[in-house]
Amino acid sequence: MAAALVKTPMRQSFLPLLLVLAGCATKNGIAGQSASLVSSSSLYLRNTFDTDPSTYVGRFVPAGVTDLDESNTLILACSKHITTRFIDGGGVSFAEDLSVSTQVAARIGIPVIVDASASHQSSRKARAEYRLTGKIVAEIPDPEAFAACCKAQPDQCTDRFIGEFIQGTGSLLHEANQETRVDVSGANPSSGVNGGGGVGRAADWKRVAEFPDPVYFAFKINPTAYAQGAVDTCPKWATEVPTAEGGVYVVGRSDNARSEQRARNNALGNANGMAMQSAGLAWDSLGGAPISMRAESWCVTPSKVRRSTRYAARVLAFVANESIAEAKKTAEARAVAEREDARLATEREDAHLAAEREAARREAANSSPSPSPAPSPSPAPAMTSDLGRIVAAVEAESFSAEMLSALTVASKGARLGAAEAKQVIDLFSFGGDKMDALKILRDKITDPQNWSVVVDSFMSMSDREAARKLAP
């Protein structure tokens, strides 16, 4: 299937190009980027770059192998149950760390890093800055047949296999170290070394190669379907969050996403929430703005769910103490501003209410022909009867929706004064329900000149303003 999608299936080795450009590393150096010894994502640098790696998809990784490239994987009997599919990459840009095998590292000059015990480990580092143009992914059309094959012939099926090849255009870089110092404890936030021992280093990222045309330069491994959960293809940091001086690490998580990009976006959002918690801030303390953090490593794993592919993503992000302090400062400034806004709003509302009361007093005084105002006429008997019927119907119900329905029915043909309408509205507890009740009674109020009485049923300034706008 992949061959039909690739116009030039002839393999093209790019390793000679890597060796040539390695001699130009100083000229093409990428300086000013902090180095990281945090375990990399589940991406592996290929032994050979080419335009058709489909023959490697479905090859199994021998048990216990960690120094991995596609050349030391195996075609076993159960590989026949694994097919391929091409997915367009959409041109999304990424910068990701890659694991590099001893063989590939020796060819392109990537050094071995010494750990805190001064022993040589397979912690060679490379970074790809690339634009994703596509990928070939493994599919298992018949999971039951695949599981049966693996269980019946356990020597023809291991716990991992090559499940994805990444195609793109971009650059390959590696860490070129000028000096290395072994620390016995603590953590260096600029290098990302944490725990009881680590390496303090001054390092530059050096450009090793560029691939301007789309090639497959990296691959991922998948857990074998029948043993799902028996092997974790993500690094250790995905389950054990490392510690750091000068800040904190957080791990953002996303599961069951319909696309890889959505999984990454959701994981970043989750990491931001974790960072806010680490800073002791509520999720909305910054008004929806994210806290400043640096994504250091990714692990994205696909899984088959019925007939579709879903994605899980994990991102390791570092939040500096300076970023936490700045976020707290911003949150406090926002809180002070919100309190001041609330105080000013209360003052404006109080002033408005005072003006309304004064206007009502003056209007009453001006409308009286004699010094002693005549007493207000008593409500008409029919009006009192309407009020009693409505109150009884509303109070007979327990929930807001039923109370509003009862009000709609009982108030048909009724006529109420503003004060009586206020009595009915006050039977409701919540502002939204009160507003709905007012809308039902609006055209039944016989003395709209007393609308301010109805407005007094509402507490918040926004509700009171809305009630004023409903005046006939």
In sequence order, the 6+-apart residues with CB closer than 8 A to the CB of 147 are: 225, 226
Tokens of 36: 């990281």
Q: What is the pLDDT of residue 177?
A: 53
In terms of Cα–Cα distance, which of 202, 174, 197, 177 is closest to 187? 197
CB 267 within 8 A of CB 308: no
CB 47 within 8 A of CB 71: yes
Please give the Cα distance from 94 to 97 (Å, whole number): 10
Q: pLDDT tens per residue, the chain (472 residues)?
A: 333 333 333 344 444 434 333 343 333 332 333 322 223 347 899 998 999 999 999 999 998 888 889 998 999 999 999 999 999 999 999 888 888 888 888 887 776 554 443 333 344 678 889 999 999 999 989 888 888 888 888 889 998 999 999 999 999 888 765 443 333 333 333 333 333 333 334 456 788 889 999 999 999 998 886 654 445 568 889 888 999 899 999 999 999 998 989 999 999 999 999 999 888 888 788 888 889 999 988 998 887 777 788 899 999 999 999 999 999 999 889 889 888 888 898 888 888 888 888 888 888 888 755 555 555 554 444 446 788 889 988 988 888 888 898 899 988 888 999 999 999 999 998 888 899 999 999 998 999 999 999 999 888 888 888 999 998 8
Q: What is the pLDDT of residue 2?
A: 37
Looking at the DSSP assignment, which residues form a beta bridge with residue 131? 93, 169
Tokens of 455: 């407005």
Looking at the DSSP assignment, which residues form a beta bridge with residue 223? 160
Report helix, strand or coil for 228.
coil
Phi, psi angles (nearest 5°) of residue 423 = -60, -40
Q: What is the pLDDT of residue 29?
A: 34
CB 166 within 8 A of CB 196: no
Q: What is the pLDDT of residue 184?
A: 37
CB 272 within 8 A of CB 291: yes
Q: What is the pLDDT of residue 358?
A: 83
Residue 469, CB-side half-sphere exposure with 13 Å CA sphere: 7
The answer, as to whether pTM is greater than 0.85, is no
Q: What is the pLDDT of residue 350?
A: 84
Phi, psi angles (nearest 5°) of residue 72 = -105, 25
> Where are the domains positioned within the chain?
3-233, 239-364, 379-472
Please give the Cα distance from 459 to 465 (Å, whole number): 10
For the chain, the distance separating the N- and C-terminal CA atoms, rounded to the nearest angstrom, is 72
Q: What is the pLDDT of residue 17?
A: 39
Q: What is the pLDDT of residue 431?
A: 84
What does the DSSP assignment read for 231-256? Answer: ---S-GGGTS----TTEEEEEEEEEE
SS (H, E, C) 335-350: HHHHHHHHHHHHHHHH
Angle at 225 between CA 221 and CA 229, to 5 degrees: 80
Amino acid at 30: I
